């Protein structure tokens, strides 16, 4: 493990720590029953800001081989993700005039859920997915996939073998890489002269303004503003042409990046808004840290009060953000009977640190807990619609963010 003393984007030191969530286990390291008695590694989860380029980042770097070679998150189990991807691919096919002579590459392509939208119309695709177990699923689904970590060296090999890309997707991956410069240089190598990189990242301002502290975990090394991203791309001779705010994952940025051109009005507007918000100051992050502590106190009091009154509680969504929330708040088996999750890859395992068992959603209707803590609150609408039978039987959900509320 490495403690990051220099900024991952620009190399500036020192970084200023603005929030500490303590020592927590790896958020996606779900445990088998046999592992429950083993020592569980924990790592500091400290959030810091670079005063030179405004990039917010955690200070600890857990090697990617530990985090990503065997992965439990499969995007295809979320209807929201499938719909989000389908709308985007249809739009790019239309706007970019893509066809059989085009090439679309996705970095961190997971099980191929997004690339299927291109492949179904005979557009050549290539996935890059370092989690070997997930890459195998993508290959089985007919999506050509390279099971490696993306960097400049791999980009050169891919460009030489497959040609340069018309579109490169990178969704929810830029935050996961320690070598930001290597990945961005790789994008420049792989992009065709008229190509575009479509990048999505959770938006720092939404995270802060909405109290989404559980989005902070060891896989997420970096937390991006438009300001930090614009500075990063300019440093490597890429242009942030356009940016959109999209609601997925509690609020994200969709960036359109190219090797030439100029930034559009959307970029200039968000840069100005962030300057007014305080992207280059500590004040917004200090207020966020105070809010996080208050949220924890309120949630623990709410759950404790329900438990003392004889109510039964469970949770839904064995997501990484759920691991952060349960670990930071110290909520475990004394409070929750189980965590329900739709993915069979998670069922039968246990949540990191707190060891709450993960079961099928069918258990909600069978056990009928009085309240269900919604850990995967970013998919609240989808989950509550799926669990209409539980709600009809009298079950109620507790949404923890931005402030605990019962629905």
Q: What pLDDT does 81 receive?
A: 77
User: What is the C-alpha separation between 344 and 137, in angstroms, rounded?
Assistant: 14
- Sequence-distant (6+) residues with CB within 8 A of 65 are none
- The per-type count for the chain, helices as H runs and strands as E runs, is 14, 19
Helix 226-235 × helix 265-277 angle, to 10°: 120
CB 80 within 8 A of CB 248: yes
CB 238 within 8 A of CB 67: no
Helix (H, G, I), strand (E, B) or coil at 64: helix
Q: What pLDDT does 178 receive?
A: 87
User: What is the C-alpha separation between 337 and 344, in angstroms, rounded?
Assistant: 19
Residue by residue, DSSP assigns 386-403 as: HTHHHHHTT-EEEE-SSS
Q: Could you list the pLDDT tens digit for every one of the 407 residues in the chain?
A: 455 579 999 999 999 999 999 999 999 899 999 999 999 999 999 999 999 999 999 999 988 777 765 555 555 557 777 888 889 999 999 999 999 999 999 999 998 989 999 999 999 999 999 888 889 999 998 999 999 999 999 999 999 999 999 999 999 899 988 899 999 999 999 999 999 999 999 999 999 999 999 999 998 999 999 999 999 999 999 999 999 999 887 789 999 999 999 999 999 999 999 999 999 999 999 999 999 999 999 999 999 999 999 999 999 999 999 999 999 999 999 999 999 999 898 999 999 999 999 999 999 999 999 999 999 998 888 899 999 999 999 999 999 999 999 99
Helix 180-190 × helix 226-235 angle, to 10°: 60
CB 50 within 8 A of CB 10: yes
Is this structure's pTM higher than 0.85? yes
Structure tokens at 226: 């438009």
Burial 140-165 (b: 16+ CB within 10 A, else e): ebebebbbebbbbebbeebbeeebbb
Burial 350-383 (b: 16+ CB within 10 A, else e): bbbbbbbbbbbbebbeeeebebbbbbbbbbbebb
What are the structural domains of the chain?
2-57 (no CATH), 75-262 (3.40.50.150), 284-406 (3.40.50.720)
Nearest alpha carbon to residue 105 among 178, 154, 32:
154
């Amino acid at each position: 493990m490495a403690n990051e003393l220099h900024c991952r984007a620009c190399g500036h030191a020192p970084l200023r720590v603005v929030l500490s969530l303590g020592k927590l286990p790896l958020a996606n390291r779900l445990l088998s029953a046999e592992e429950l008695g083993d020592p569980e590694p924990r790592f500091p989860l400290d959030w810091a800001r670079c005063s030179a380029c405004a990039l917010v980042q955690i200070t600890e770097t857990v090697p990617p081989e530990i985090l990503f070679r065997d992965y439990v998150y499969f995007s295809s189990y979320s209807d929201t993700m499938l719909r989000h991807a389908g709308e985007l691919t249809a739009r790019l096919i239309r706007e970019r005039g893509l066809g059989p002579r085009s090439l679309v590459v996705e970095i961190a392509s997971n099980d191929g859920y997004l690339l299927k939208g291109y492949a179904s119309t005979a557009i050549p695709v290539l996935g890059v997915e370092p989690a070997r177990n997930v890459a195998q699923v993508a290959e089985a689904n007919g999506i050509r996939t390279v099971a490696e970590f993306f960097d400049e060296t791999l980009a050169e090999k891919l460009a030489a073998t497959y040609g340069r890309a018309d579109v490169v997707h990178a969704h929810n991956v830029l935050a996961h890489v320690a070598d930001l410069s290597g990945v961005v240089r790789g994008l420049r190598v792989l992009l065709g002269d008229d190509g575009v990189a479509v990048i999505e990242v959770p938006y720092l301002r939404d995270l802060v303004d909405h109290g989404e502290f559980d989005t902070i975990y060891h896989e997420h090394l970096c937390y991006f503003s438009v300001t930090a991203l614009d500075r990063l791309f300019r440093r490597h001779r890429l242009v942030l042409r356009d940016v959109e705010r999209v609601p997925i994952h509690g609020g994200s940025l969709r960036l359109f990046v190219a090797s030439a051109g100029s930034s559009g009005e959307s970029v200039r507007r968000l840069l100005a808004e962030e300057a007014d918000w305080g992207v280059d100051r500590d004040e917004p992050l200090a207020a966020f840290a105070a809010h996080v502590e208050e949220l924890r106190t309120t949630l623990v009091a709410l759950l404790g009060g329900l438990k003392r009154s004889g109510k039964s509680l469970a949770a839904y969504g064995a997501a990484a953000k759920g691991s952060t929330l349960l670990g930071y708040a110290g909520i475990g088996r004394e409070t929750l009977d189980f965590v329900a999750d739709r993915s069979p890859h998670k069922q039968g395992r246990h949540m990191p640190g707190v060891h709450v068992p993960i079961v099928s959603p069918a258990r909600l209707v069978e056990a009928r807990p009085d309240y269900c803590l919604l850990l995967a609150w970013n998919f609240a609408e989808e989950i509550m619609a799926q669990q209409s039978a539980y709600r009809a039987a009298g079950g109620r959900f507790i949404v923890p963010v931005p402030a605990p509320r019962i629905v």
